[in-house]
Amino acid sequence: MRLLPVLALGALVLPLGARAADPHSYAQPDQVVVTHLDLDLKIDFPHKQLDGVATLKLDWKNPQAPALVLDTRALSIAAVDAVGANGKTQALKYALAPADRELGSKLTIEAPRHPAQVRITYVTSPAASGLQWLPPAQTADKKQPFMFSQSESIHARSWVPLQDSPAIRFTYDAHVTAPKDVRVVMSALNDAKHPLDGDFSFDQPHAIPSYLLAIAAGDIAVKETGPRSAVYAEPSVVDKAAREFADTEKMIATAESLYGPYRWGRYDLLVLPPSFPFGGMENPNMTFVTPTIIVGDKSLVSVISHELAHSWSGNLVTNATWRDGWLNEGFTTYVQGRITEALYGKRQASEEALLSARALEKSIGHMPANSQKLAPEPRGVGADDAPSDVAYDKGSWFLRTLEQKFGREHFDAWLKSYFDHFAWHSITTEQMLAYLKPNLIEKYPDRMSWDEVKQWVYGPGIPKDAPLPDSPRFDMIDKERAAFLAGSLPAAKLDAKDWNTQEWMYFLDRLPDVPTLAQVQAIDAAWHLTGTHNAEIGMRWYVHAIAAGDRAVWPAAAEHMSRIGRLYLTIPVYRAFADTPKGLAYAGQVYARAKDGYHPMTQQAVERLFAKAKAKQSATK
């Protein structure tokens, strides 16, 4: 590949295969790179820990490198050994540095003789940030405990000692022992017919970054949804999930028709308990997904489209650092829209794109200027903060702009070639731009200037000429909302009987931040939103009703917060309560009851929100 400076960007493009400096990892890939992980784990539910042995195959890059440096967080290291070609081991000296709050502890292993493999024996902490342990009472069927991982962004280090950077890719195999009657799954090829005998083996032959390392174990049933897809879920959930996700094979085929073959073999789905902090996680071969998208009408299955799309953007072509997160999430959100359009029509795809664009327009001006950029300056940006709404929504908006400027035919050809060109590599924003410039921008001149591209990627805010999709249904909802707010249209006369989930989301999203009490009471009397089991609608409804001062919704809002641990659907309701002293006190009581059922990431987010709210209220006294 020809090396080119990205003009006026102040950065040189790395050659394909080179690794960008990662501020969120202690790893030193210029010295040594982990190429394969052999993992042996014992799942210990009573102690909420994994007993592990990780054997790392190494490619030494620097002949003078004195040590192997790994990322860890709250791991207890029992032994570190070099493993010879004959299988014999030799103890190695190592040092575990004091823990950094975000990065964890640097593990430095002295290895001047450059062994081909290093073996680390360790135990995880019950409070590992990348694992959640649920007792039976916090599962759907309440029969078996449940454990699952969430490694993105930098939480794999809390359950495996490794080079925890998206720039470093490795293959892995694993042997896992668990109690009998518990099924174990991983981000690898899974056998739906595996006996529940407590002994599982896995193989991931494709090199993946550490954040895609995943494991789960519990009372898990399986139902096939296609020739290369199945749903895994608790027995009481699996049939509903299989019906909701019945179009999985159609989604795979649609994505293949656009962007080339699905290269991972199988695409299975694991429905997790409601405490899962995200909508979905694109773990290869086994997407983890929230049960909050199972609403009976497939209106929220775009989450599956999104996680499937990651099989091309993210898993196949990966952001080299979390500063480049829009290469994962912006590209994936664009591809998600194309899958949704092909399967469910332009109306739903346009509504979803418009929802995200309008929400971003509302929020982006309140962000620091650096956070408004697709490729922000890395200083001060945490790994978990980097994949923000900007990465998803501004990133996909930029790609929709390219599609509009160059035409779908030309843009699709470029995007497919991009996935092929960078397949199985982790790349930076600058590498992507160096491929974009000659292969699309300059290939079809006078359609979009390079200055426009740079403004999208490196500039704050949203360019003024950013195109928006048309949605006649949303236009009508805008008119009805305005008439309702003006008092000329009663809530009961809203033409909302046939609104889908996206249309209710749009109506609620564009209400005033603080509607009047009379307005929210009128809406609820007519449409009975309090107590809805559609979590997308519920979150938006409770935020507005709480802001309006409607105390009648508080118990239903508390039930929503206690039932759902998904950050996106729970934190806004906590935030709405925290705006007043009485609301903050009530939210504190809800959290005290719900805390043990939340993922560590959700616990941290709620506690940070409470601390800020208390400080703000103290300052105003």
Alpha helices in 438-566 (DSSP H): 450-458, 472-486, 501-509, 517-527, 535-548, 554-563
| Number of Cα atoms under 13 Å in the Cβ half of residue 599 | 27
Residue type at 122? Y
CA-to-CA separations, 521 to 186, 477, 500, 527, 532, in angstroms, rounded = 47, 19, 21, 10, 15
Non-local CB neighbours of 381 within 8 Å, separated by 6+ positions: 322, 323, 370, 371
CA pair distance 89, 116, nearest whole angstrom: 11
Strand 425-427, strand 317-319: pairing: parallel
Q: How far apart are CA 269 and CA 277, in angstroms?
A: 16
Q: What is the β-pairing status of strands 169-177 and 32-44?
A: parallel
Question: Do the beta carbons of residue 58 and residue 68 sit within 8 Å?
Answer: yes
Cβ contact 509:358 at 8 Å:
yes
Query: Sign of torsion, CA 291 292 297 302?
Result: negative
| DSSP secondary structure, 343-383, as one string | HH-HHHHHHHHHHHHHHHHHHGGGS-GGGGSSS--STT--T
Question: In this structure, what DSSP letter does residue 104 have?
Answer: B
The catalytic site residues sit at 307, 392
**Helix, strand, or coil here: 576?**
helix
